[in-house]
Structure 1
Amino acid sequence: MTDVVTEDDGQSVTDHVDRLRGQWARELPDLDTEAMAIFGRAKRLSNLIGPSIEATFAAFGLDRGEFDVIATLRRSGPPYRLTPTELYTSLMLSSGGLTHRLDRLEKAGLIRREKAPRDGRSVHVVLTQEGAARAEQAFRADMANERRFLEPLDAQERQMLAGLLRKLIAGIEAGC
């Protein structure tokens, strides 16, 4: 049924997912809701921190999608240039969804589109100096913001959680 965690002070800790699982256990006692203990919490975590992440990017004049584009270019390393295909593949977007983002970022002066030097029919998306600076500033602020959400966990717990999530995701990506 539910897993109850006991804090160092002996107090039991329950959360929203425990309450939902308890309701399902009462209504459908034969149903195993263990997966909900993991995936329900992952969804709940995303819902809880998402607005704070969006607000962090908004402080830099970006939405999450725009940040993803300039961050992808920034972490690609010098010369901070990718083809649209490389970008939308990395971001798991449609080409149309990317085009809209690129239009907004170009208008803001954070990227520019250049004809490929060897093939004038191809285009590269290039991060401007302003785009690189904005990506770094927004990423630094985002990491500081997200770090505060980890405060309930000590270093060993954070490392263990990251390792377990890595193992779970790798297994799912490999097709279980």
Structure 2
Amino acid sequence: MSFSAPTRPLPQIELVLLLAALMSLMAFSIDSIMPALPALAAEFSPGAPSRAQLAISAFVLGTGIGQLFIGPFSDSFGRRPALVLGIGLFISGALAARWATSLDMLMLFRFVQGLGAASSRIVSQAVMRDLYSGRDQARIGSIVFTFFVVIPALAPLIGQWIVHIAGGWRALFAVYFGLGTVVLSW
């Protein structure tokens, strides 16, 4: 697999959409699982339903730890390799979590997913700083952050739809896998 830069620069609108998708991936992955917590509790910890919330905590912990490492990795090896590594972890965590058979397994895979999701936020911010400065950076940043703010408001609704219409909490992880794959192939 080559990590060379794309042969053509992305048009600005496409770049903004990619950066917005990257920034939103982490927020969507945190907030869309909330409607699945009762189903997770019923399946994995019926005696202690509040333990299902650990699926969110594990993801956030992974994201926090991942941010400590992905920034220096991105500076040393480049934005693209950092993003490929991170989104690869995100996709792997999503795929594995879909088949989790215990809450502990789910928490482990959500942690891995969070480690990878850290790259989406860190690398997108670094790319904005690399390509823009001053007013242009503020303008592009405000557009990208608008998506980042709107997605957490919509994610629980989308998560609810996925859980109840598309086949339960495991369908969420198929969606995470799909979103990660789309972003990675962009």
Larger radius of gyration: 1
Greater percentage in strand = 1
**What TM-score comes out, normalization by structure 2 length?**
0.27
Which structure is higher in RCO with an 8 Å CA cutoff and minimum separation 6? 2
Q: Which has the higher helix share?
A: 2
